[in-house]
């Protein structure tokens, strides 16, 4: 049996994130000018996703109509729909493989997206995307394309109506903003589009594209409404400028509709009603015209595709089918064609197909809503489409303003958050808990991408609550979901944006990090590479400090960094945390060559109340000489912080003042003269009373420096120590102490 190679889960996640950001960038490009901030922001996300996927090496992936290939292996995972969308988008533009050879800039990605977003027919006329891209002379990206030797033999004449230029994008924006195009150039282009079935379908797909949730799931109702609005504008312009073409245009709209996503089409047709019950010539009449233009083959293809997707017939599908084919004879013809089409699909080859088909046939052929819907209620339903159309073009009534606001994207997103959190709390099946935890984590990821840090904090809080409760069904799954969230592109992008967040957003993101735990430190580490004390670095430091000892080991990559700012910032952070576990990480920094790093490490060790910290400073003082030793001493006294006194005292206790450590003792005594307090008096008293034969010069220097340190401390305890030395010390100490008293009055 041949082993099928597989991709690591991390690589799958990274490439899925790259596919997601690429699709989002393509949508932004279709809606905004190339220099718009929304386009640049989406390209920044593509670049960061590419960096994660490439991991510092050249990176390439192949393209098929259905998926992306990494080293010939199809990409799998829960983001298969997003990957398929990206693959289809690239395949439609004749791309076979993309290779990124270096650190790709946003400018390079902007040029690449410009080439790929051009009308594919225009690109083919110029030799294909690879040839067009080669003219850009950008070696950081390589594009391989489909062989055009056969495709171009039957190429069609380019239709100007399909060119996706500035006029096209302006039309798309007008439809999405529900503004009727008034500019003559736009109206002329729309008149051209109305005569081209392919152009109509392309326009419908472009107005559909923005209507997706952050996780990539389609918003069917919004998509259907956008297509209907585009059709209304096209037909409205034809009615004014070329009314004799109305029948032709409706036929074109029907042909284009037959090539759209069947689920979107079903959503559109669900809003169609009997024209006789709606006198307004609005969406209902338009959709009725389109339905009338559907022949049996179109209806059968639509029905077969929908049944194959949904796997069964539903009341909604039966209602739509009853609208399209109201008479029994046509229903039987369409059902016969539908069955033939289904038998050509995988769905129709299933063993249980006959049983499924019988139930479908019974529901679709016997559906009749009259026993369940009164004439008055039906009339009310029929008027909904017309009223919705009026609301789209007119100011909303006061009594509906608040209601419509509740249906906004932010409110819908918050509702999704509430529902998923409630589901997580109510889940009692251990088998379903891991899947639900992953769904909740995916929602948190999407919320971070959308910049909704408040909702993300609520979701992550719910995961953390279950992760902290060993009795919870989803305990382990939630812990794994929280740890996995840190490695996502969304979390790392949010961490990088910490510099630019408002104070409120930063507080919410810090709350997210608090619930995730010390693992979030991994995503914050890049912010500590800055030499300057940026706002992002300060915010990240506050988050990491709150973890305390649990964050210490995660700062290892900063300590081992080749850049001095990262090492210095790590030392300062370890000093702020000030626990004994920080000492092993600070010790290597003392052996460096950069005085700024050494000084930060010494200051950090000086603030740690642990004997190991003092021994580390003593060791480096003993091993160093000259400027390096002076740098260590200066670091100890530079902050004028009394917390270094125990470290200096410890150095005195561990040193031989008349042997190899004499210079260390003298410098330490000088340091105590600058920062010493009453805690140093006993050590200074002991040091000045020490004696050694045959080392008179060193003994004198030690006694002199000890007395100077006591005099500099200027406390009653220090004065008493000098007075006692003058009275009870050895002969040399009495003379030096009395001289010190006389010199200072």
Quickly list DSSP for 77-132: STTHHHHHHHHHHHHHTTEEEEEE-S---HHHHHHHHHHHHS-HHHHHHTT-HHHH
For residue 543, name the pLDDT band (cuts at 50, 70, 90).
very high
Question: Would you say residue 626 has pLDDT above 70?
Answer: no
Q: Could you count the other beta carbons within 10 Å of the beta carbon of residue 270?
A: 17
Question: Would you say residue 641 has pLDDT above 80?
Answer: no
Question: Would you say residue 411 has pLDDT above 80?
Answer: no
**318 or 214: whose pLDDT is higher?**
318
Backbone torsions φ then ψ of 274, nearest 5 degrees: -65, 120
Quote the crossing angle between the two packed helices 375-393 and 220-241, to the nearest 10°. 70
pLDDT at residue number 542? 92
pLDDT at residue number 156? 42
- State the DSSP code for 676: -
pLDDT at residue number 4? 41
Q: Could you count the other beta carbons within 10 Å of the beta carbon of residue 63?
A: 23
Question: Would you say residue 188 has pLDDT above 70?
Answer: yes
Which of 111-115, 218-222, 330-334, 496-500 is predicted with the least confidence, judged by mean pLDDT? Answer: 330-334
Question: Would you say residue 275 has pLDDT above 60?
Answer: no
Q: List b or e across 123-141, with b for residues whose CB sees 16 or more CB atoms inside 10 angstroms.
A: bbeeebbbebbeeeebebb
Whether this model's pTM surpasses 0.75:
no
Q: Which tokens in the block code for residue 257?
A: 């509709």
Max avg pLDDT among 298-312, 583-597, 727-741: 727-741
Contacts of 481 (CB under 8 A, 6+ apart): 437, 438, 440, 441, 463
For residue 158, name the pLDDT band (cuts at 50, 70, 90).
low
Question: Would you say residue 31 has pLDDT above 80?
Answer: no
Using CA atoms, how far apart are residues 620 and 651, in angstroms rounded to an integer?
Answer: 11
pLDDT at residue number 393? 54
pLDDT tens per residue across span 351-392: 544 555 565 555 455 544 444 445 555 555 555 555 555 555
First-to-last C-alpha distance (Å) of the chain: 98
Task: Give the three-class secondary structure for 530.
Answer: coil
pLDDT at residue number 351? 52
Average pLDDT over residues 586-604: 79
Backbone torsions φ then ψ of 73, nearest 5 degrees: -100, 125
Question: Would you say residue 82 has pLDDT above 60?
Answer: yes
pLDDT at residue number 596? 81
pLDDT at residue number 585? 86
Using CA atoms, how far apart are residues 459 and 452, in angstroms rounded to an integer?
Answer: 11
Where do we find the tokens 């690589």?
11
Q: What does the chain come to in residues?
A: 745
Q: Could you count the other beta carbons within 10 Å of the beta carbon of residue 370?
A: 8
Half-sphere exposure in the Cβ direction for 448 (13 Å, CA): 30
Task: Give the three-class secondary structure for 144.
Answer: strand
pLDDT tens per residue across span 457-497: 888 888 888 888 888 878 888 888 888 888 887 888 888 88
Average pLDDT over residues 520-531: 87
Using CA atoms, how far apart are residues 26 and 585, in angstroms rounded to an integer?
Answer: 46
**Nearest CA-CA partner of 642 in 713, 718, 545:** 713
Mean per-residue pLDDT of the chain = 75
Using CA atoms, how far apart are residues 376 and 294, in angstroms rounded to an integer?
Answer: 29
For residue 213, name the pLDDT band (cuts at 50, 70, 90).
low
**H or E element, residue 59:** strand 59-63
pLDDT tens per residue across span 282-328: 666 677 777 777 766 666 676 666 666 655 555 555 666 666 666 66
Using CA atoms, how far apart are residues 382 and 287, in angstroms rounded to an integer?
Answer: 12
Q: Which tokens in the block code for residue 78?
A: 């829960």
pLDDT at residue number 511? 92
CB 496 within 8 A of CB 48: yes
pLDDT tens per residue across span 84-115: 878 888 888 888 888 887 678 888 888 888 88
Average pLDDT over residues 652-672: 81
Cα 64 off chain centre by: 26
Which of 76-85, 432-441, 673-682 is predicted with the least confidence, judged by mean pLDDT? Answer: 76-85
Average pLDDT over residues 29-47: 72
Cα 407 off chain centre by: 25
Give the domains, in start order, of the chain with CATH numbers: 9-154 (no CATH), 165-389 (no CATH), 644-745 (1.25.10.10)
Question: Would you say residue 264 has pLDDT above 80?
Answer: no
Average pLDDT over residues 422-429: 76
Using CA atoms, how far apart are residues 32 and 30, in angstroms rounded to an integer?
Answer: 6
Average pLDDT over residues 121-135: 81
Cα 334 off chain centre by: 47
Average pLDDT over residues 332-342: 67
Backbone torsions φ then ψ of 467, nearest 5 degrees: -65, -30
Question: Would you say residue 5 has pLDDT above 70?
Answer: no
């Amino acid at each position: 049996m041949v082993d099928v190679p597989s991709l690591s889960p991390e690589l799958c996640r990274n490439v899925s994130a790259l596919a997601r950001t690429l699709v989002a960038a393509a949508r932004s490009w279709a809606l905004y000018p190339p220099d718009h901030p929304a386009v640049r922001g989406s390209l920044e996300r593509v670049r960061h996703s590419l960096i994660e996927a490439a991991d510092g090496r050249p990176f390439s992936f192949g393209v098929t109509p259905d998926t992306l290939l990494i080293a010939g292996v199809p990409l799998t995972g829960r983001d298969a729909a997003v990957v398929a969308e990206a693959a289809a988008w690239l395949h439609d533009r004749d791309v076979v493989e993309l290779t990124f050879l270096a650190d790709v800039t946003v400018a390079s990605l902007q040029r690449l997206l410009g080439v790929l977003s051009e009308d594919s027919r225009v690109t083919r006329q110029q030799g294909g995307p690879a040839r067009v891209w080669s003219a850009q002379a950008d070696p950081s990206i390589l594009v391989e394309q489909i062989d055009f030797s056969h495709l171009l033999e039957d190429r069609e004449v380019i239709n100007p109506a399909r060119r996706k230029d500035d006029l096209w994008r302006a039309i798309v924006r007008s439809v999405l903003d529900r503004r009727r195009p008034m500019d003559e150039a736009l109206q002329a282009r729309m008149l051209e589009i109305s005569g081209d079935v392919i152009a109509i379908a392309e326009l419908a797909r472009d107005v559909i594209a923005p209507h997706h949730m952050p996780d990539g799931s389609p918003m069917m109702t919004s998509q259907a409404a956008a297509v209907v609005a585009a059709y209304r504008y096209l037909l409205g312009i034809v009615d004014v400028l070329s009314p004799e073409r109305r029948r032709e245009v409706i036929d074109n709209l029907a042909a284009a509709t037959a090539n759209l996503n069947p689920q979107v089409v079903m959503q559109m047709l669900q809003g169609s009603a009997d024209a006789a019950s709606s006198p307004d010539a609005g969406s209902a009449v338009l959709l009725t015209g389109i339905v009338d233009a559907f022949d049996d083959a179109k209806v059968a293809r639509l029905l077969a595709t929908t049944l194959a997707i949904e796997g069964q017939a539903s009341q909604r599908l039966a209602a739509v089918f009853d609208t399209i084919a109201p008479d029994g004879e046509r229903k039987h013809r369409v059902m016969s064609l539908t069955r033939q089409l289904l038998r050509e699909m995988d769905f129709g080859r299933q063993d249980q197909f006959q049983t499924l088909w019988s139930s479908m046939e019974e529901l679709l052929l016997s559906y009749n809503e009259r026993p369940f819907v009164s004439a008055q209620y039906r009339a009310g339903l029929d008027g909904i489409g017309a009223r919705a159309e009026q609301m789209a073009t007119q100011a909303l009534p006061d009594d509906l303003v608040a209601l419509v606001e509740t249906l906004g994207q932010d409110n819908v997103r918050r509702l999704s958050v509430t529902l998923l959190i409630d589901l997580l709390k109510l889940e009692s099946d251990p088998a379903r808990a891991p899947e639900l935890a992953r769904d909740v984590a995916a929602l948190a990821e999407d919320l971070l991408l959308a910049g909704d840090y408040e909702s993300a904090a609520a979701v992550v809080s719910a995961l953390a609550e279950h992760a902290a409760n060993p009795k919870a069904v989803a305990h382990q799954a939630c812990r794994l979901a929280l740890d996995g969230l840190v490695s996502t592109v969304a979390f790392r992008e949010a961490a990088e944006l910490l510099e630019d967040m408002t104070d409120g957003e930063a507080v919410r993101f810090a709350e997210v990090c608090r619930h995730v735990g010390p693992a979030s430190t991994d995503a914050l580490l890049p912010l500590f590479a800055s030499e300057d004390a940026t706002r992002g670095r300060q915010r990240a430091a506050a988050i990491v400090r709150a973890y305390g000892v649990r964050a210490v080991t995660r700062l290892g990559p900063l300590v081992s960094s080749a850049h001095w700012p990262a090492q210095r910032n790590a030392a300062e952070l370890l000093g702020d945390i000030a626990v004994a576990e920080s000492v092993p990480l600070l010790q290597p920094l003392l052996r460096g060559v950069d005085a700024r790093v050494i000084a930060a490490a010494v200051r950090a060790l000086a603030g740690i109340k642990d004997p190991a910290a003092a021994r580390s400073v003593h060791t480096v003082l003993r091993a160093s000489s000259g400027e390096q030793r002076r740098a260590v001493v200066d670091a100890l006294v530079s902050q004028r912080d009394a917390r270094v006194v125990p470290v200096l005292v410890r150095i005195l206790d561990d040193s031989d003042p008349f042997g190899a450590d004499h210079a260390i003792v003298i410098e330490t005594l000088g340091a105590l003269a600058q920062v010493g307090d009453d805690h140093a008096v006993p050590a200074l008293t002991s040091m000045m009373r020490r004696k050694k034969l045959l080392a008179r010069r060193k003994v004198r220097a030690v006694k002199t420096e000890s007395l100077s340190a006591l005099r500099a401390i200027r406390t009653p305890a220090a004065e008493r120590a000098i007075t006692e030395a003058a009275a009870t010390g050895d002969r040399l100490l009495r003379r030096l102490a009395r001289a010190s008293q006389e010199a200072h009055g």
